[in-house]
Amino acid sequence: MATSVDARINDELQALQAILINGYAVKDENGVPRAIETLIHPSTADKKEEQFVCVTLEVILTPDYPESSPEVILRNPRGLDDKLVNEIHKKIKEKLDRHVGNPIVFELIEIVRGFLTECNLPSGQCVICLHDFVNGDVFTKTPCYHHFHSHCLSKHLINSKKYYDEELEKLPNWQRSEAIPYKQTCPVCRCELKFDVSTLEQAPPPVDSINAPPFRLTDELRALQDRMAAQLARQIARGGVVGMGDEGPPLLTITTAADKEQEAKASSSAVKPPKVEPRPSTSVEPAPEPERQQCRVPYRGFNRRAKPGRRERGAPR
Ligand SMILES: [Zn+2]
Ligand SMILES: [Zn+2]
């Protein structure tokens, strides 16, 4: 059954098409538009390298839109802290309340774009050093729109490479050649990055870290340390923490159907097969006990941080 679409919505979509060309997506149900989604950047005369923030605007149309206000969602805000996102929401709400009965999507886009243009600098903290971005800081925007002090990002990349090399060193030769090659990744979303570390390294440290008063262990911090130590001890006692210096395969193992078959064969050939409880395919096991069955098949565990690729031969990547 063909459903008719309000002429005002059709006009609005045509206008969006003319202005945004392909910069938006329409989700429809049986040909009836249900939601409009677009990624919004600040106006910088299309100079992408000058855009430090962005957000995805989704406008979900009500069945009688534009006679009632659509639902508006702001997704994946980049370079904007919660306070700024809430301010955009507030402005959108004011606009919606004043314009019930009129197509509104384009004006919503303009409100968000105007806001982003005004606040085209990252707000909030660098997640590596936890210092705010302030005047004079040298920062880097990744292609995934995350921001870090260039100095902090260089330290992160140097350390992640060092960690990778150390882990690779621990692998037997035959596994080294199969390890996933090192890749720089974003510390927030793990998008692949390609930065020249030596250039980043030349950036000065964060301004706030220079001006910060020297660290002092206060009574408050001492009390916090005691509380955390007690909590850690409780978690270790309950088997919830993998021991830091444990020898042998890590306790997180990923089993496949082939492993189970192999395990079944091994146990059926034994004189007195031990009773093995079925386990979920991914299991975090408690701390080893004297009776604990060790892996008989070639080493197939993941290390604690699941890299760089300690796993069985031929396992899917
Ligand atoms: Zn930083
Ligand atoms: Zn990222």
Cα gap 69→66, rounded to integer Å:
6
Ligand 2 is an ion; its neighbours by CB within 5 Å are 144, 146, 186, 188-189, 191
Distance CA 6, CA 27 (A): 16
> Do residues 150 and 208 both lie within one domain?
yes
Q: What is the mean pLDDT of residues 14-27?
A: 78
DSSP 182: P
Average pLDDT over residues 106-124: 86
294 vs 274: CA distance, rounded Å: 13
Given a cut of 50, is residue 316 above it in pLDDT?
no
Note down the domain range covering 172. 125-214
- The CATH code of the domain that includes 149 is 3.30.40.10
Q: Mind listing the pLDDT tens digit for each residue in 222-262?
A: 999 999 999 988 988 887 776 555 565 555 555 667 776 77
Last residue of a domain, one of 166, 185, 214: 214
191 domain residue, yes or no: yes
Q: Which two tokens stand for residue 25?
A: 């997506």
Same domain flag for 168 and 102: no
Last residue of a domain, one of 214, 247, 277: 214
Residues 98 and 139 reside in one and the same domain: no
pLDDT at 15 over 60: yes
Distance CA 143, CA 303 (A): 29
Separation of CA 206 and ligand 1 centre (Å): 6
Looking at per-residue pLDDT, the higher value among 253 and 97 belongs to: 97
**pTM (two decimals):** 0.54
List the Cα angle 225/226/230 in 5-degree steps. 115
Q: pLDDT band at 305, cuts 50/70/90? A: very low
Convert the pLDDT of each residue in 40-61 to its tens digit.
Answer: 999 887 788 778 889 999 999 9
Task: State the angle between helix axes of 105-118 and 82-98 in degrees (0 to 180), rounded to the nearest 10.
Answer: 150
The closest ligand to the CA of 127 turns out to be 1
Instruction: Give me the pLDDT at residue 275, please.
Output: 42
CATH number of the domain residue 97 falls in: 3.10.110.10
- Residue 232 covered by a domain: no
pLDDT digits (tens, 9 = 90+) for 65-75: 888 899 999 99
Domain shared by 164 and 84, yes or no: no
Banded model confidence at residue 3, pLDDT cuts 50, 70, 90: low
Task: Give residue-wise pLDDT tens across range 207-216.
Answer: 999 888 888 8
Nearest ligand atom owner, CA of 212: 1
Write out pLDDT tens, residues 117-130: 888 877 778 999 99
* Structural domain ending residue among the three candidates 93, 118, 143: 118
Query: What is the distance in A from the centroid of ligand 2 to the CA of 112?
Result: 22
Q: Which of 17-21, 62-66, 97-101, 133-137 has the lowest mean pLDDT?
A: 17-21
Q: Give CA–CA dist 163/235, Å, rounded.
A: 26
What the block records as the tokens of 203 is 């950036």
Q: Which residue has the higher pLDDT, 100 or 306?
A: 100
Ligand nearest to the CA of 193: 2
pLDDT at site 195:
96
pLDDT value at position 67?
87
In a domain, 131, yes or no: yes
The number of domains in the chain is 2
Q: What is the mean pLDDT of residues 86-108?
A: 90
Does 111 fall in a domain?
Answer: yes
Query: How confident is the model over 190-201, as pLDDT tens digits?
Result: 999 999 999 999
